Amino acid sequence: MDLFEYQRQTFGKKEAPLAARMRPTTLEDFVGQEHIVGKNKLLYRAIKSDRLRSVLFYGPPGTGKTTLAKVIANTTKSEFLQLNATTSGIKDIKETIVKAQDSFGMYQKRTILFIDEIHRFNKTQQDALLPHVEDGTIILIGATTENPYFEVNPALVSRSIVFQLQKLTQKDIALIIKKALMDTEKGLGMYHAEIEEDALHFLADISNGDARTALNAIELAVLTSDKDKDGKLRITMEIAQDCIQKRALNYDKAGDNHYDTISAFIKSMRGSDPDAALYYLAKMLYAGEDPKFIARRIVICASEDIGNADPHALQVAVAAAQATNFIGMPECRIILAQAVTYLSCAPKSNASYLAIDKALQAVKTVQVSSIPVHLKDSHYAGAKEMGNGLGYRYAHDYPGHYVKQQYLPDELCGTVFYEPTENGLEKKIKDSLKRLRGELS
């Protein structure tokens, strides 16, 4: 290393963001995730004994995935190499594998390969890792914010232990902030800043379990604040609010949390909980979700989960979707909220949903010879000579606009697809069908 490189690295460490400087280097300094790195837990024992096997760290941003990899780098006797999937390709993977093979061949030294954002690797890139994980050339540590069971090669997942990291608690975040304020070597200790209790609680809460967000905020607060009349640098609630004005949300529109949130939203409407449904609606809108996407899900819910128990639900949902399309945010939030509360409070039935699936299953599995001849089209010349339409009874010519008649093919005669529930309007439909089907029996 020449003088310029030494100066560059030294300066870089000093000028690095607080979140990077405060990254723990030992398990003892690591905060949170007790369920996987608490004493006597599997990962704790594996790191301490330097007997790690391939692992995947999966969790929201700022929860310690990269930090755990750095802790392993500082404790292992193995060679530790690192790639970032956002900037690396097949060439980088091959070069890394060669280094690992050389390390073992010359020094009998294992290689741990840490790949940050591993879900960003495409299938070909992930496949390139597989044989070398399988034969032990590398011990893989993959970090991802996305569900590895969806985004990582199943063969890699099956050869790894998946550890799910949770959002840090407010207590964890508060401890991390306090450590940063006291640390004179890597943190902000040289500023002798004090943080008021309500400001600390505010930052711990609004960071939403993301240590990086909290550290960025406290660093900004300290570096941009002046000392008070007593000569002390105090971080007040007002300063804290200025430094982080919007709650950090783990909501990637293409990621796992996106699907978890929309799932919770739909299930809350289905479960007749308007308050929960409104919360998840608000979360999606706050995170910047396309309101037209939300509106489409509401329309689906109206038919799938309410159906004929309240046919007006579909009208409300479609009207809301149309209004959302030409009004847009922020006003369409009110329209969506109206539709969500209506659907949440409406009587529920999935009878139509079940009925069409039963009918589709019948189409796929039952061999039908022919449509009943009296139902066949008879409007064209020669149709009657073929027997089409003969014997058809026009329902409106009969009392009550109903006449008993076979409509299903012979092979399905008597099959019931639609079974109305006792909820809402469907109770009347059910009673009516019972009467009609009774005449058919």
Q: What is the pLDDT of residue 355?
A: 95
The span from the CA of 130 to the CA of 126, in Å, is 7
User: 24: which 2 tokens?
Assistant: 């723990």
Q: So what's the pLDDT on residue 414? A: 87
Residue 362 lies in a domain: no
- Within a domain: 100: yes
In a domain, 39, yes or no: yes
Residue 214 domain flag? yes
Q: Give residue-wise pLDDT tens across range 265-290.
A: 999 999 999 999 999 999 999 888 88
* pLDDT attached to residue 441: 42
Give residue 4's pLDDT. 43
Q: What is the identity of the amino acid at 344?
A: S
Q: State whether 298 and 405 are in the same domain.
A: no
Adjacent-strand bridge partners of 195: 235
The pLDDT profile of the chain, 441 residues, written as one tens digit per residue, is 454 444 445 444 567 889 889 888 888 888 888 998 888 889 889 888 888 889 999 988 888 888 999 888 888 888 888 899 988 888 999 998 999 998 888 888 888 889 999 988 888 889 888 989 888 888 899 999 888 888 888 989 998 999 999 889 999 999 999 999 999 888 998 888 899 999 999 999 888 888 889 999 999 989 988 888 777 889 988 888 888 876 666 666 556 677 889 999 999 999 999 999 999 999 999 888 889 999 999 999 999 999 999 999 999 999 999 999 889 888 999 999 999 999 999 999 999 999 999 999 999 998 888 888 888 777 776 666 676 767 788 889 888 898 888 889 989 998 999 999 999 999 999 988 888 877 444
- Residue 6 in any domain: the answer is no
Say what the pLDDT of residue 381 is: 63
CATH classification of the domain holding 76: 3.40.50.300
Same domain, 59 and 139: yes
pLDDT at 253: 57
Gap between the Cα atoms of 324 and 293, Å rounded: 10
Number of folded domains in the chain?
A: 4
Of 263, 260, 352, the residue nearest 313 (C-alpha):
352
143 and 49 co-located in one domain: yes
What is the Cα–Cα distance from 17 to 4, expressed in whole angstroms? Answer: 21
**Could you tell me if 411 and 430 lie in one domain?**
yes
Contacting residues for 131 by C-beta, under 8 A, at least 6 apart: none
Query: What span, in angstroms and rounded, lies between the C-alpha atoms of 119 and 73?
Result: 21
pLDDT at 320 (0 to 100)? 96
Cβ atoms of 64 and 33 closer than 8 Å: yes
In tens, the pLDDT along 151-177 reads: 888 989 998 999 999 889 999 999 999
Would residue 17 count as lying in a domain? no
Domain end (from 135, 164, 193):
164
Among 111, 132, 164, identify where a domain stops. 164
Residue 234 lies in a domain: yes
Domain presence at residue 358: no
| Same domain (yes/no): 134, 190 | no
Domain that holds residue 395: 373-437
If asked whether residues 268 and 240 sit together in one domain, one would say: no
d(CA 300, CA 338): 16
Same domain, 70 and 140: yes
Task: CATH number of the domain at 176, please.
Answer: 1.10.8.60
Which of 206, 230, 249 is the C-terminal boundary of a domain?
Answer: 249
CATH number at residue 405: 1.10.3710.10
Q: Are residues 157 and 43 part of one domain?
A: yes
CATH code of 324's domain? 1.20.272.10
